[in-house]
Amino acid sequence: MSRTSALLEWYGHNRRDLPWRHTTDPWRILVSEVMLQQTQASRVVDPYRRFLDRFPTPASMAESSTADVLSLWMGLGYNSRVLRLRDAATLIVRDGWPRSVEGLRALPGVGPYTAAAVACFSFGKQVPAIDTNLRRVLSRWVGRPLDGPDLATTATELLPDGDAVDWNQAMMDLGASICRRVPECGRCPVAKWCADPSIYVAPRPQGRYEGSVRQTRAAILRTLLDGDADVEDLRSRHGHADAALGALETEGLIAVEAGRVSLA
């Protein structure tokens, strides 16, 4: 049995039952991938369902208000993502869906991984969707830390013809459940093909949330969902208020005028 066959057989019995895996609708795939950016899958399932109940199509989101989209996004973090998703929805309504990886990358907020995932899972393109899990697994398979062109070339070479959807999802599941930071090699279906399980390609570290500017940003946005606020009042209530307000204004989430703050 080959490594690919062993991996796909394992995946057939152990695949995670996630709602976005039951559709090829590009909008639903795009929403899931944007939500999953730097957020665990378990935290995304319920917000994903609520979001699509409210915005089942790009057209339903394109004309929505900032308050509407933020109210459904709160708790997922990195709130500028949802405004970029709305911008993407607007372009999709106007121009239709791009079907190539390159075309999808031109959409606001869509990076290389998200473009590849939508192209593969929605449009059947035979491309690797390179996320943190896939990078770590492939690095251990070949016995060296992979990045950049080396990672892309290796992933493309190992991608089995005609099985991109299952292979990409199997690699994600393997990395999320077995081939983690500390691998469980005794449970791994492809351990005998692994060159060096000690290799760990660490994701970019994220700072502590408690007491951070990110926490203040979220608190300010929750306040603004109920209406405008006074800048001085926000400063008195929140640490890092000026840094948070500056970042939120730069990202287009808020407007500041004459000492008052509102959602953009």
Q: DSSP characters for the chain?
A: --HHHHHHHHHHHH----GGGG---HHHHHHHHHHHTTS-HHHHHHHHHHHHHH--SHHHHHT--HHHHHHHHTTSS-THHHHHHHHHHHHHHHH----SHHHHHTSTT--HHHHHHHHHHHH--------HHHHHHHHHHHTS---HHHHHHHHHHHSPTT-HHHHHHHHHHHHHHTSSSS--GGG-TTGGG-S-TT---PPPP----TTSHHHHHHHHHHHHTTS-EEHHHHHHH-TTHHHHHHHHHHTTSEEEETTEEEE-
Superfamily of domain 17-123: Hypothetical protein; domain 2 (1.10.340.30)
What CATH number labels 213-263?
Answer: 1.10.10
| pLDDT, tens digit, 9 for 90 and up, residues 100-109 | 999 999 999 9
Q: Tell me if residue 232 is catalytic.
A: no
> What pTM, to 2 d.p., does this model score?
0.85
Tell me which of 9, 33, 251, 257 is the catalytic residue.
Answer: 33
| pLDDT, tens digit, 9 for 90 and up, residues 188-204 | 999 999 999 999 877 66
The structural domains of the chain, with segments of one domain joined by +, span: 17-123, 213-263
The residue-averaged pLDDT of 35-61 equals 93
| pLDDT, tens digit, 9 for 90 and up, residues 128-153 | 999 999 999 999 999 999 999 999 99
| pLDDT, tens digit, 9 for 90 and up, residues 203-259 | 666 667 677 887 888 888 888 877 888 788 888 888 788 888 888 888 888 888 888
